[in-house]
């Protein structure tokens, strides 16, 4: 039987939600990491409150031996630092054991992207004579036009989109709001989908979800990822896709067409410019005009 994680973990995650508004996915990842560390300590006769710097270093070494990637271990250490700072702040610990623990070195792997021709093929893959295919075409167009995260895309509601103004409002990590231009192609396919596809999918059921599933509910990230892979196969695009592939293509193609890195940062919803700098290998010019004049489908 699996043991119940230390209740301090849930207290910390609740505090995170209240103070920083981190997404469910981020908090779930922190819960998994902290629970694994808690179990590892318990198996060795320790616990979270008693763990010192040596225990944390031993755990990092254990993860390395188990084949965990440096990036996931960096995320673990980030969670541990936040957790132990919280314990010190709450008066449960006198000293933070993570203070002299360094992050493992993480390279900056370039995100896998698609060429503009591959994107065109992917966008053209859905059968737009079918309501489901028309929905998928509109979703792919919006995903590429706006560089959204998949979670942001599937959670869009009708009121978040203004076709008249040509923008959508989305809420990214930490519930941070941003406005993103749609571009002419995305607007065209959204109008087509709203006029001819959405009502057929809903079948008379009330919903404010922009892209409902066949059951009239909000689509899951996993379902949309399955749909992307289905259309990628039809477009002749092989392996290497991820749920973020079109987001990476959005950033890469904007930079290729002259967009400024800080503008791409704003459109992607990155709080730190260093997160966006992984795309600088494709930057060839600086931004001179607005998104609609640079984006390949604007």
CATH number of the domain encompassing residue 79: 1.10.150.130
Minimal CA–CA distance to 251: which of 288, 287, 210? 287
**What mean pLDDT is reported for the chain?**
81
- CA proximity to 224, closest of 113, 139, 104, 125: 139
Catalytic choice (59, 63, 75, 247): 247
Give a yes or no: residue 2 inside a domain.
no
Is 144 one of the catalytic residues?
Answer: no
Instruction: Tell me, yes or no, whether 191 and 254 share the same domain.
Output: yes
Is 81 in the same domain as 124? no
Long-range contacts: 111-114, Cβ < 8 Å, 24+?
111/244, 111/248, 111/252, 111/278, 111/279, 112/240, 112/241, 112/242, 112/245, 112/248, 113/245, 113/248, 113/249, 113/252, 114/237, 114/245, 114/246, 114/248, 114/249
The predicted structure's pLDDT at residue 71:
77
Whether 131 and 178 map to the same domain: the answer is yes
Choose the catalytic residue: 135, 244, 248, 291.
244
Shared domain for 85 and 127, answered yes or no, is: no
Both 60 and 206 in one domain: the answer is no
> Each residue of 221-247: pLDDT tens digit?
889 988 988 998 898 887 667 777 777
> Of the listed 253, 279, 291, 297, which one is catalytic?
279
**pLDDT (average), residues 282-288:** 37
Cα distances (angstroms) measured from residue 267 to each of 61, 68, 144, 251: 38, 32, 12, 9
- Comparing 9-23, 51-65, 100-114, the range with the smallest average pLDDT is 100-114
- Active site residue: 137, 149, 295, 297, which one? 149
* Mean pLDDT calculated for residue range 78-83: 89
Last residue of a domain, one of 71, 89, 107: 89
pLDDT in the model for residue 141: 92
Edge-to-edge strand ranges of the sheet holding 161-162: 161-162, 167-171, 177-181
244 catalytic residue (yes or no): yes
Residue 283 is part of which domain span? Answer: 116-294
Tokens read off for 12: 């910390």
Assigned domain for 101 exists: no
274 band by pLDDT with thresholds 50, 70 and 90:
low
Task: Give catalytic status of residue 44 as yes or no.
Answer: no
Domain holding 195: CATH number?
1.10.443.10
User: For position 292, what pLDDT does the model report?
Assistant: 57
Q: Of the residues 89, 104, 126, which one is the last residue of a structural domain?
A: 89
Active site residue 247: yes
Burial 100-137 (b: 16+ CB within 10 A, else e): ebeebeeeeeeeebbeeebbebbbebbebeebbbbbbb
pLDDT band at 281 (very low <50, low <70, confident <90, very high): very low
Render pLDDT for 156-200 as a digit per residue (tens, 0 to 9): 999 999 999 998 888 877 667 788 888 899 999 999 999 999 999
Task: Indicate if 55 and 127 belong to the same structural domain.
Answer: no
Q: What is the pLDDT of residue 290?
A: 43
Q: What is the pLDDT of residue 257?
A: 73
| Number of structural domains found in the chain | 2
Q: If pLDDT is split at 50, 70 and 90, which confidence band does 67 have?
A: confident
Distance CA 100, CA 126 (A): 53
> Pick the catalytic residue: 27, 85, 173, 178?
173
Classify residue 200: in a domain, yes or no: yes
Residue 149 bears catalytic tag: yes
Query: Measured in Å, how far apart are the chain's first and last C-alpha atoms?
Result: 55
């Amino acid at each position: 039987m699996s043991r119940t994680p230390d209740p301090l973990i849930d207290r910390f995650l609740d505090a995170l939600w209240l103070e920083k508004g981190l997404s469910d996915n981020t908090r779930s990842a922190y819960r998994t990491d902290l629970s694994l560390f808690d179990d590892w300590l318990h198996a060795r006769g320790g616990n979270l409150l008693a763990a010192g710097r040596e225990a944390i270093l031993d755990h990092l070494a254990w993860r390395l031996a188990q084949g965990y990637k440096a990036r996931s271990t960096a995320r673990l250490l980030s969670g541990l630092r936040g957790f132990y700072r919280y314990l010190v702040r709450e008066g449960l610990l006198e000293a933070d054991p993570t203070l002299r623990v360094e992050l493992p070195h993480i390279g900056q792997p370039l995100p896998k992207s698609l060429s503009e021709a591959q994107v065109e093929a992917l966008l053209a893959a859905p059968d737009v004579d079918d309501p489901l295919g028309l929905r998928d075409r509109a979703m792919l167009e919006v995903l590429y036009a706006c560089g959204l995260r998949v979670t942001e895309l599937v959670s869009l509601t009708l009121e978040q989109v203004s076709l008249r103004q040509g923008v959508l409002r989305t809420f990214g990590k930490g519930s941070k709001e941003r406005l993103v231009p749609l571009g002419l192609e995305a607007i065209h396919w959204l109008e087509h989908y709203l006029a001819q596809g959405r009502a057929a999918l809903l079948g008379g059921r009330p919903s404010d979800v922009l892209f409902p599933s066949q059951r009239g509910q909000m689509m899951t990230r996993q379902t949309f990822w399955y749909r992307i892979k289905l259309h990628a196969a039809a477009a002749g695009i092989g392996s290497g896709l991820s749920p973020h592939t079109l987001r990476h293509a959005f950033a890469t193609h904007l930079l290729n067409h002259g967009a400024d890195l800080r503008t791409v940062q704003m459109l992607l919803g990155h709080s730190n410019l260093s997160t966006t700098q992984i795309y600088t290998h494709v930057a060839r010019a600086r931004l001179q005009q607005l998104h609609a004049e640079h984006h390949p489908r604007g």
